Amino acid sequence: MERKIALITGATSGIGQATARILAAENWNLILTGRRKERLDALVDELNKKYNTEVLALCFDVRDKQQVIANLGTLPEAWQNIDLLMNNAGLASGLEPIQDGDFEDWDKMIDTNIKGLLYVTHTVFPYLKARGKGLIINLGSIAGKETYPNGGVYCATKHAVDSLSKAMRIDMLPFGIKVSQICPGAVETEFSEVRFHGDEQRAEAVYKGFEPLHADDIAEVVSYLVNLPDHVCINDMMVLPKAQASAYVMYKK
């Protein structure tokens, strides 16, 4: 049977990387993207050896529209039959009130989480349209449903993802393309290290005193979504650790 193809942005770490591993184990071929080439190369090597997966690794920055078009605009023919686009690349940068926020942090979040997602989706859409089917999974967040102290701009970007997911579902309906959003709570990945600009101690403290979600937990949700019958679309899934009741209510021991 022909292998399905998934395009996962941000596969060099965390949720994207865990999803690449799960889908490889389920016999998918993968287009994997990220900025860190050495990470991509290591993952390609691992997936080739372990699962015999064919991988097209593309190293680029989703914020740069020329790079997005150059890398995804003319995929080799064998890679154009994309079944899943997973818009996962994203980040938080900083944790401050708006009045103390840093313009560079804001640019990073807005350019990656909103504009990057749009550039990639727009560029990949023609492949999905040509097939008349396919699934787009956007990584939203509980931060796209609620607003928490000091997270204003990150929350705003994820609220935008929430809105764009709804918009894509409407716009792409005539083309047979399904759009699902996954909104996780706290997942222990490199997310907090990136948010705190490399401060590992501060990042570790975020996940102390409770069991956070693991990247594999969200990858399992992706696996569930891609294995649904074609006529079934789960629009939105909020997935939290047991110890988390809302964006800022956490039961820590």
Q: Which stretch binds ligand 8X3 (CB under 6 A): 19-27, 50-58, 138-146, 231-239?
A: 138-146
By CB under 6 A, is residue 143 in contact with ligand 8X3? yes
Catalytic residue among 119, 127, 154, 207: 154
Contact 219/225 with Cβ under 8 angstroms? Answer: no
- For ligand NDP (CB under 6 A), the number of binding residues is 31
Direct distance between the N- and C-terminal alpha carbons of the chain, in angstroms, rounded to an integer: 49
Residue of 128, 186, 222, 247 interacting with ligand NDP (CB under 6 A):
186
Task: Name which of residues 27 to 46 contact ligand NDP (CB under 6 A).
Answer: 34-36, 39
Contact 58/34 with Cβ under 8 angstroms? Answer: no
Task: Name which of residues 216 to 245 contact ligand NDP (CB under 6 A).
Answer: none
Instruction: Quote the tokens at residue 87.
Output: 């818009």
By CB under 6 A, is residue 16 in contact with ligand NDP? yes
Beta bridge partners of 85: 7, 136
Q: Which stretch binds ligand 8X3 (CB under 6 A): 46-54, 55-63, 120-128, 135-143?
A: 135-143
Instruction: Tell me, yes or no, if 154 is annotated catalytic.
Output: yes
Those residues with Cβ within 8 angstroms of residue 58's Cβ, 6 or more apart along the chain or in another chain: 31, 32, 33, 71, 72
Give the C-alpha separation, 7 to 178, whole Å.
15
Residues with catalytic function: 154
Give the binding site for ligand 8X3 (CB under 6 A). 141-143, 151, 185-186, 247
